[in-house]
A and B are shown apart, each in its own frame.
Chain A
Amino acid sequence: MPANRYNGFTEYGIGIGLRVPHYRHILAKKPVVDWFEIISENFMVDGGRPLEVLDQILEQYRVVQHGVAMYFGSADRLNREHLKKLKRLVKRTNTPWLTDHLCWGSVDGRYTHDLLPMPYTFAAARATADNIREARDFLEVPICVENVSSYAEFHASEMTEWEFLSEVVELADCGILLDVNNIYVSSKNHSFDPYEYLKNVPHHRVGQIHIAGHSKFEKYILDTHDHPVLDPVWKMYAHAIKLLGKTATLLEWDDRIPTFDEVHHEALKANKFVEKQFETAAA
């Protein structure tokens, strides 16, 4: 949805991920970019070049924090030291909302550094929602949780992924970062209709959208973020915009990263679908 309480009542447009190979270009050329998404953990450090670059970016651009290691779905309670570091960064960036994944990734302080899928049960939804609430209360910033791409399903699951996502965000009263590419990847890996997913998530809670590229293998699709966005994902994005309205959108490109201009150009293709939707609505 456009400005809502899950994205701090902002109306951001098309953004791109801030990545190391582009630092020099961005700082020297200062290209016009609506906003940058940063990976929180890359800047949860005590000093040095990462924070220097971040401060320079913050002088010129709007920044939203995206995390990869909060692991809301871990059965363990959230790591308070992690939260404290994250809060220091939140104060530095003034991010209007903060995102992380609907997944787990650590057990007893040991980290997999992966975004592992959840069993879709009511008990898991309650545990996850508790963690999200705790994080939001501590960080004092709206949180949107992102659906992950997955390659496995659990016997224990009692509902579909979109039902689980809806259950969690209702219990936690938080927002959704709807990753359209992840829905597509998971739909192929688990044989469900991605449009059913789009139709059934609580639209009023969507604060942001992700788009990205993926890689096809013989028996499954892998979420690699190393390609341009593929046509079926653009098609889904267009449908999502139709359902949600103009929503802050970000292109993720994390591997085999091309030039800044190529990434930005790819991201701006999203405008075509947003404008088309506006025209249709106006007519």
Chain B
Amino acid sequence: MKRSKPTNLSKNNLKPPRPKKMPVGSRRQLKELQTLMASALFRPLTAEDRMQPCWTDGSSMANLADRFIKPNDRLSAFERLEIYNRVYWFRLLDCLYDDYPGLRAIVGEQKFMELATAYLAKYPSVSFTLRNLGQRLEKFLREQPQWIAPHEELALDMTRFEWAQVVAFDDAALPTITTDDILDTPRSKLRLGLQPYLSLLELRYAVDHFLIAVKKREADVLRGEASNTPDAMPQGAKRKRRPRLPKRERVHLVVHRYDNTLYYKRVEPEAFAILLGIGEGKTVEKACSAALAKSKRPGADWTAQIREWFHDWSALGWFCRSKR
């Protein structure tokens, strides 16, 4: 009797080979497992907020999860990994959502979530604290302006402004300089430092006023949600209203804190230029002369004006020792 040649088509052989389980018998293998799992978590969710069904090489995500995660009687390995994938994205997106109400109002809720997802996919958190999550958002938006079109400049202004508020909230405050500290220093040699928590922003839009309007609207919506009064406005109607986007306007803004409360203060262009010069390490004299040389207000009483500015800025505690 003629024997048939053995083939690979027997029933058992039709099953794909079982994926090899990942061992953790050394620190190196622990690192391999953690690298793989973190890579899975960092991958964005699908439009339905589920874990992606395929891995980066197109292979099955379920097979990949099976390599290191055990299923149980209720959940597959895929579903167990998916819990962590979802928690990661929900947590981080929530954080950006809270930190960037102004940017959100400019681009719209849906587009904001898409840009935040793209941002985190490109720039995952590299800090132990979620406080720094938006640190590279401006850089990302400059690299990929399609996320903020057609309001590129406005959105970038807002992003810088909202990050400046994070900095103003809890960055370092160095000992302030007093008049006594600088009494003996000639003006030509006097250098001051600016507090690390202070940001100088030259803006093309009045994002400060716009953000106040956005926050007021959000507070009103929240108050409405907390209200049980029958005459409370329908929520849908409230949510649809968005403050009108600001018109183009040159604004010089200092974002700072005083008595541990956050403030933003508009300043004159010349005052802004002086502060910028001081921040760059120029002597006070050079900072002032350079700023006034560019002034479009000839004939102003600059001596009195500058004295007043410095008085105000000192009172606000903006000056510290220069690093130079």
Contact = CB atoms under 8 A, between A and B. Distances in A.
Interface string A8-50: 0000000000000000000000000000000001001111111
Given A114-B87, A123-B27, A155 B129 contact: no
A191 B168 CA distance: 48
A108 B68 CA distance: 20
Contacts of B197: 47-48
B30 A110 contact: no
A191 B136 CA distance: 43
Given A41-B128, A110-B38, A155-B21, A52 B91 contact: no
A56 to B, nearest CB: 11
Interface in B30-45: 30-31, 33-35, 37-38, 41-42
A44 B131 CA distance: 11
B80 interface: yes
Given A151-B83, A152-B81, A155-B22, A111 B126 contact: yes
Interface stretch (A74-82, A200-208, A264-272): A74-82
Interface string B273-306: 0000000000000000000000000000000000
Interface string A197-225: 00000000000000000000001101000
A111 B171 contact: no
B70 interface: yes
B317 to A, nearest CB: 11
Given A112-B88, A151-B80, A153-B70, A121 B24 contact: yes
A48 B41 contact: no
A135 to B, nearest CB: 13
Given A69-B128, A111-B126, A152-B83, A48 B34 contact: no
Interface stretch (B71-79, B107-115, B223-231): B71-79
B125 A113 contact: yes
B196 interface: yes
Nearest to B73: A191
B4 interface: no
Interface in A51-78: 51-52, 69, 74-76
Contacts of A76: 31
B260 interface: yes
B84 interface: yes
Interface in B1-51: 21-31, 33-35, 37-38, 41-42
B128 A50 contact: no
A2 interface: no
Nearest to A189: B72
Interface residues of B, number: 55
A188 B16 CA distance: 33
A123 B29 contact: yes
Interface in B255-277: 257, 260-261
B91 A113 contact: yes
A51 B197 CA distance: 14
B129 A41 contact: yes
A79 B127 CA distance: 10
A110 B171 contact: no
B63 to A, nearest CB: 13
B226 to A, nearest CB: 13
B260 A82 contact: no
Given A48-B170, A114-B87, A114-B91, A82 B196 contact: no
B92 interface: yes
A48 B38 contact: no
Interface in B163-181: 168-173
B127 A107 contact: no
A45 B124 contact: no
A215 to B, nearest CB: 12
Given A113-B130, A191-B73, A155 B170 contact: no
Contacts of A107: 31, 34-35, 38
A257 interface: no
A45 B260 contact: no
Given A113-B88, A152-B81, 15 more contacts: A41-B128, A45-B131, A46-B196, A74-B34, A75-B28, A82-B128, A123-B26, A124-B30, A153-B70, A153-B80, A154-B33, A154-B69, A155-B22, A190-B72, A219-B75
